[in-house]
Structure 1
């Protein structure tokens, strides 16, 4: 292997004893939903093979259950299931024989969505629907047998190894933590007993698969859980699993009940790598770090600091299958960066949907969304350089069409230019950087500051026209809404109009929450500073109390604004936000004193303030500013004007449907259309 001039640490090979990894890039585990889909293993085969061709060194699959108690979905315990998994391993090894693929063995324990769920004790998880069955001695032995069998079947299926997940609140981690393991027998009590089940799993798996098989153990290096594992317990466990035969220790920073965000875009890049580095000093085997490492320069810095031997990047491999190849070739500016929005990946995974990626709809759809060269290249006009227009122009030009992209504004991005201004959403700059680079590479004719008319488009000689003109903010029918106190969310975000000290926000969707975040924020964005993030979320990286958070009070700076967030719906405020990130936004605003009201009827706005009724009782909110975040209206006048043209005209993005601003839907629609024209 030739030396890599770009990111030499990241692309240096690593001898892990049982085999050799060609680089330090790991595609981390993520359940895709394909595991249970019809024809899912064939689709998974292409999904992973595309990442293998893209240059990763090691792949870990989504979690596979060792038995029915482990969870509802794909398991590996029978000969028939071995044949299904062999489709995946064969595809990966055919794509690149040097790429290694390991299967994650996941037992969800008390978090399993099955009536048969089991745990060390009958302690219900805060986020689970059911109380688990406490394992008796026979049940424990059955689980151990099933882990052993699952690992052996994985080897028969052609995997190079397995990862056993011992974190996140799943079965193994529930044995480790005293609050979920209340047993008084040999499997509970002191930590030596609480880690016995984990060590038995590791020993039995190693004995079953032999010495020539990769065995990874995922440990909660800092579980972010009140009364979670202490640092001494983490070190004790890590050393014990190493002695029991583990090849690699993978650090995780998660317990699904935690009140600390670890995967959202508001989390600083590589925020937890220092914890991995501390543990690495205690071990003699390679250590993996993870969480919010989304660009090669960040990964390179982590390796050079000595904080890890391998970098796990799961969602970044959804965003760009060629991440590793682009980095190796010095084309980092061409990487479609993961922005940690979670909207199409983890939000889908936790609601039983197939996983994809907001910025890359091809992820997990490689067999159905193909960007094949156009049979007959066309001249296509795209009006609107927001997320939908940019995505269409990129894919269409990639396929060989000649694309002219118009926008009335002075920069590309549309609504993304508002999102990037919100503290905690700085990653949107990366998406705009990517699209700007693609426009250049694909030779898209970009015409900014150009407001096109139907006549111009008719006279342009285009074969097809795509209208992606987006939306305009909706003005609700409220008496007095034209009062000087009322401003639009656009004016609030851009600073075009001043915002007073007492503020009411009409509309508690995603934009309403973003506006509340922006106008209550004080100082530097904690998404850009690990120390600030730790203070705001109550994490002590330096002293590592139990779970990293026990006894630590969050300190959330605020600028003193009095803000009330209002919605008409009777449902809880923020209920429509993302499954994996909504709680973080609600909690952050609550800590800043933002009041949230549902079931609001708007009666009027005048000099006295905003007049409302809640539960039939009238109130007057004495506010200086009312920020309107009451939805959007499609901007489709140009499309209607072109109704009589002979040219095929398409309508996409917010101009097509603006019930909610939805970049995921807009980009997905644009990419599928561009793949077909």
Structure 2
């Protein structure tokens, strides 16, 4: 397969970029609490530069100490910070990669617990639904101060060796708020008509251009649509991009949406169509003549080349794809598409970590956030390593141990590698998840791990194998709840339904509205197996990180009934009896699916721990506690590295 366009250099205002692969801005939380660059921050970006990306756009720089959305966001507002930034840019430039710095102000999309105790500011006093604090409406003198801060930071960025600047006008942050009637209710020169709402952008552009000169690239990121009741639609965006080109911006980075809304995902989940912005980007292409970057749901170089072939854009933004595999460009160039660790758009590490106040990580690439902690340059003394269990934790442990130079054997009791991740690939909007299993199986072969399927491990087996290190990755099993009557009716575990082992039809009841239960219900509804009812004992279903809203939409469209605050009282041939709203009722059921959680399969580990020293035996993933695939790959990787 040819990738001529992807590897053809292209320029932005005289800055030649060696290929069309772009890493768009992503918050990492890798900096210090005062916004300064760390070794981890540099190592994280260096991996992408080494992996062949032509342009990296940093996460959003704050222009003052309090203009941040997360505690450890990067900032550049003082000359004293330039030297460390110069170290960073010099490191990236060693690989021929260009580095643009994104510059922003969060506006209302922050809160006083992360920004140093300051009331958020905005175009108007309208809070967002996530941070909830009523923002302070900026006065005109305060606007002028922020404009000057942008100008100063731009000059510092050029002094620090950045190759260009991206001004953040998207996703509901401060400047997006001024542009959009969704946030802007001002009655002065910065509100009302579009020319007024653009005023702050013009002023910031002029302030930045004054400090960086005419030949330094200044680009803008903008949402094509906001997808909210009074948010911006494409026709107005086309007027804005035309104005931005006339103002002097050298390129546009096209995104979509606004954070803290129910609009189509700014950060694409597996529910979002791949190449989500293609159609709208084509309209921008007809409107302006400056270079375009398009992002959102593009995690495959084949799709990227197709978009370039169609002249949709000039560069491809591959944000989370670069997390999953920083080597994606190099592997593409070498023709090794089947060795790319593709992003599966699960969002568990890249968004989940931030929402918990931590840094980003990645389910499919445990090295993210650990670049300085786990170097592979040096090799330990080779050992004989035995991994028991072939799910994601076990495969990750085996691959990593083999990368370290150990002789690794993996035992899996079934006839297939993948564990509980196999049924996880079957529900709607999870087809991409299979890419992880394909990648891990390929890596086991490349790393020459000895894989033995249908090998049920026993204590005697393990002791006879005489490994230097035993890694237990035996996973978990589904719970069988103690419900009156459950022994007298046929019930089915969700995983058996998902893989087609237990086909069901008719009136179907899923007990449990967590991630497994909702996905199984969606699977049954999508296959039109009958009418599906989900019973959840808590106040709401939980379909997993950033999937619940999309799942509710899916349920609505497929007429799935959801009963919350409902407790199952008993099961019988008549159906499922539940207690809801202080009433007892029986739901007719031709099939009952159990999705009531998991428990660790750790009996072998407990027995071995009495026979083997602690230094020789370690448990990973669900063997320790039934959790999720992110924990599985992270703990498997760590155990394999330390084997």
Q: TM-score range by the shorter chain?
A: over 0.9
1:218 aligned onto 2:216: no
1:616 Cα offset (Å): 4.2
Question: Which moves more between the two structures, 560-569 or 22-31?
Answer: 560-569
Q: Which residue does the alignment assign to 1:31?
A: 27
Counterpart Cα distance in 2 of 1:561 and 1:192: 54
The 3-state SS of whatever aligns with 2:486 is coil
1:521 Cα offset (Å): 1.2
The 3-state SS of whatever aligns with 2:381 is coil
1:657 aligned onto 2:595: no
Q: Which digits, 9 at most, give the CA deviation of each residue in 1:364-418, with x for residues without a partner?
A: 2211123354321111121211000110011111111111112122221111210
Whether the aligned pair in 2 keeps the contact of 1:380 and 1:403 (CA below 8 Å) is yes
The 3-state SS of whatever aligns with 1:281 is helix
The 3-state SS of whatever aligns with 1:111 is coil
Q: Which residue does the alignment assign to 1:423?
A: 428
Q: Which residue does the alignment assign to 2:162?
A: 159
User: Structure 2 residue aligned with 1:596, among 556, 559, 562?
Assistant: 562
Specify whether residues 175 and 152 from structure 1 end up closer, same or farther in structure 2 by C-alpha distance, changes over 3 A only. Answer: same
Counterpart Cα distance in 2 of 1:350 and 1:81: 27
Q: Which residue does the alignment assign to 1:491?
A: 496
- Aligned residue runs from structure 1 range 636-675, under 5 A: 636-646=602-612, 648-658=616-626, 660=627, 662-675=628-641
Q: Which residue does the alignment assign to 1:563?
A: 532
1:108 aligned onto 2:106: yes
Q: Which residue does the alignment assign to 1:444?
A: 449
Counterpart Cα distance in 2 of 1:238 and 1:207: 21
1:140 aligned onto 2:143: yes
1:470 Cα offset (Å): 1.1
Counterpart Cα distance in 1 of 2:109 and 2:391: 40
Specify whether residues 30 and 563 from structure 1 end up closer, same or farther in structure 2 by C-alpha distance, changes over 3 A only. Answer: same
Whether the aligned pair in 2 keeps the contact of 1:371 and 1:395 (CA below 8 Å) is no
Counterpart Cα distance in 1 of 2:315 and 2:128: 32
1:261 aligned onto 2:261: no
User: Structure 1 residue aligned with 2:176, among 165, 173, 178?
Assistant: 173
User: Structure 2 residue aligned with 1:244, among 242, 247, 260?
Assistant: 247
Counterpart Cα distance in 2 of 1:454 and 1:29: 50
Q: Which digits, 9 at most, give the CA deviation of each residue in 1:6-29, with x for residues without a partner?
A: 412111111223310000011111
Q: Which residue does the alignment assign to 2:277?
A: 272
Whether the aligned pair in 2 keeps the contact of 1:69 and 1:112 (CA below 8 Å) is no
User: Structure 2 residue aligned with 1:61, among 58, 71, 89?
Assistant: 58
Specify whether residues 284 and 673 from structure 1 end up closer, same or farther in structure 2 by C-alpha distance, changes over 3 A only. Answer: same
- Aligned residue runs from structure 1 range 440-479, under 5 A: 440-479=445-484
Counterpart Cα distance in 1 of 2:592 and 2:33: 47
Whether the aligned pair in 1 keeps the contact of 2:264 and 2:272 (CA below 8 Å) is no
Structure 2: which 5+ runs fail to align? 113-117
Question: Which moves more between the two structures, 355-364 or 615-624?
Answer: 615-624
User: Structure 1 residue aligned with 2:521, among 516, 520, 544?
Assistant: 516
Whether the aligned pair in 2 keeps the contact of 1:119 and 1:134 (CA below 8 Å) is yes
1:600 Cα offset (Å): 3.1
Question: Which moves more between the two structures, 614-623 or 192-201?
Answer: 614-623
Whether the aligned pair in 1 keeps the contact of 2:489 and 2:571 (CA below 8 Å) is no
1:457 Cα offset (Å): 2.4
Question: Which moves more between the two structures, 111-120 or 57-66?
Answer: 111-120
Q: Which digits, 9 at most, give the CA deviation of each residue in 1:564-614, with x for residues without a partner?
A: 322333x4332x831x33332233324433333333333210112212223
Counterpart Cα distance in 2 of 1:194 and 1:69: 24
**TM-score, normalising length from structure 2?**
0.93
Q: Which residue does the alignment assign to 1:628?
A: 594
Counterpart Cα distance in 2 of 1:560 and 1:675: 45
The 3-state SS of whatever aligns with 1:601 is strand
Whether the aligned pair in 2 keeps the contact of 1:41 and 1:88 (CA below 8 Å) is no
Q: Which residue does the alignment assign to 1:554?
A: none
1:68 Cα offset (Å): 4.5
Q: Which digits, 9 at most, give the CA deviation of each residue in 1:204-258, with x for residues without a partner?
A: 2122211232211001122223332233321221122122221211001121214
CA RMSD of aligned residues (A): 2.1
Counterpart Cα distance in 2 of 1:410 and 1:268: 33
Counterpart Cα distance in 2 of 1:179 and 1:71: 21
Q: Which residue does the alignment assign to 1:540?
A: none
Counterpart Cα distance in 2 of 1:560 and 1:426: 19
Specify whether residues 616 and 225 from structure 1 end up closer, same or farther in structure 2 by C-alpha distance, changes over 3 A only. Answer: closer
Whether the aligned pair in 2 keeps the contact of 1:6 and 1:329 (CA below 8 Å) is no
Q: Which residue does the alignment assign to 1:7?
A: 3
The 3-state SS of whatever aligns with 2:88 is helix
Specify whether residues 260 and 15 from structure 1 end up closer, same or farther in structure 2 by C-alpha distance, changes over 3 A only. Answer: closer
Whether the aligned pair in 1 keeps the contact of 2:471 and 2:639 (CA below 8 Å) is no
Question: Which moves more between the two structures, 415-424 or 37-46?
Answer: 37-46
Q: Which residue does the alignment assign to 1:290?
A: 295
1:299 Cα offset (Å): 0.9
Q: Which residue does the alignment assign to 2:80?
A: 80
The 3-state SS of whatever aligns with 2:59 is strand
The 3-state SS of whatever aligns with 1:354 is coil
User: Structure 1 residue aligned with 2:331, among 313, 326, 330?
Assistant: 326
The 3-state SS of whatever aligns with 1:604 is strand
Structure 1: which 5+ runs fail to align? 523-558
Whether the aligned pair in 1 keeps the contact of 2:224 and 2:233 (CA below 8 Å) is no
Q: Which digits, 9 at most, give the CA deviation of each residue in 1:69-117, with x for residues without a partner?
A: 5335442211233334333223212x32x21111111211121223432
1:577 aligned onto 2:544: yes
Q: Which residue does the alignment assign to 1:50?
A: 47
Counterpart Cα distance in 2 of 1:132 and 1:329: 51
Whether the aligned pair in 2 keeps the contact of 1:61 and 1:102 (CA below 8 Å) is yes
Whether the aligned pair in 2 keeps the contact of 1:507 and 1:565 (CA below 8 Å) is yes
1:132 Cα offset (Å): 1.5
**TM-score, normalising length from structure 1?**
0.89
The 3-state SS of whatever aligns with 1:271 is coil
Q: Which residue does the alignment assign to 1:201?
A: 204
1:273 Cα offset (Å): 1.9
The 3-state SS of whatever aligns with 2:282 is helix
Question: Which moves more between the two structures, 479-488 or 245-254?
Answer: 479-488
1:305 Cα offset (Å): 1.2
Counterpart Cα distance in 2 of 1:644 and 1:400: 28
Whether the aligned pair in 1 keeps the contact of 2:227 and 2:263 (CA below 8 Å) is yes
Whether the aligned pair in 1 keeps the contact of 2:37 and 2:84 (CA below 8 Å) is no
1:605 aligned onto 2:571: yes
Whether the aligned pair in 2 keeps the contact of 1:71 and 1:117 (CA below 8 Å) is no
